């Protein structure tokens, strides 16, 4: 009797992390933007909140990815350097390269479907 309720408790305890993981895939999400031939690829990236974005400089020139609202800034990324950041704030974040202002991109961060109704 005691033993079976202990087992039931143990199963309940095991079920909690499993369901938490299925409603919170945020940590697993990632996306990459390349600085390639003086352009950001993709130019527009749409991600769920909580996604880790890695920016990779594929060029032999230094570049930056600098948010117009100053919410993020890679600062100077030399050839083949990378930078990454977890985007938690919902919104549309336009950015450009301070060294080559014609290089422009946008990161659109939306609410993750699983986190809706969480308040």
Q: Which residues bind Cu ion (CB under 5 A)?
A: 63, 97, 99-100, 103
Q: Which lies closer to Cu ion via its Cβ, residue 50 or residue 53?
A: 53
Q: Which lies closer to Cu ion via its Cβ, residue 50 or residue 107?
A: 107
Q: Which lies closer to Cu ion via its Cβ, residue 61 or residue 88?
A: 61
Q: Which lies closer to Cu ion via its Cβ, residue 63 or residue 112?
A: 63
Q: How far is the CB of 81 from Cu ion (least distance, A)?
A: 13
Q: How far is the CB of 40 from Cu ion (least distance, A)?
A: 9
Q: How far is the CB of 64 from Cu ion (least distance, A)?
A: 7
Q: How far is the CB of 107 from Cu ion (least distance, A)?
A: 17
- Cα 68 to Cα 2, 8, 15, distances in angstroms: 62, 54, 44
- The 3-state secondary structure of the chain reads CHHHHHHHHHHHHHHHHHHHHHHCHHHHCEEEEEECCCCEECCEEEEECCEEEEEEECCCCCECCEECCCCCECCCECCCCEEEEEECCCEEEEEECCCCCCCEEEEEEECCHHHCCCC
């Amino acid at each position: 009797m005691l033993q079976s309720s202990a087992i039931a408790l143990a199963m309940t305890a095991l079920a909690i992390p499993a369901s938490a993981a299925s409603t919170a895939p945020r940590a697993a999400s990632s996306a990459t933007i390349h600085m390639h031939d003086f352009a950001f690829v993709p130019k527009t990236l749409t991600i769920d909140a909580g996604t880790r974005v890695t920016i990779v400089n594929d060029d032999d020139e230094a570049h930056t990815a600098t948010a117009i609202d100053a919410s993020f800034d890679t600062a100077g990324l030399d050839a083949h350097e990378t930078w990454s950041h977890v985007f938690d704030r919902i919104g549309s974040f336009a950015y450009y390269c301070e060294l080559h202002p014609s290089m422009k991109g946008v990161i659109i961060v939306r609410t993750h479907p699983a986190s809706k109704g969480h308040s």
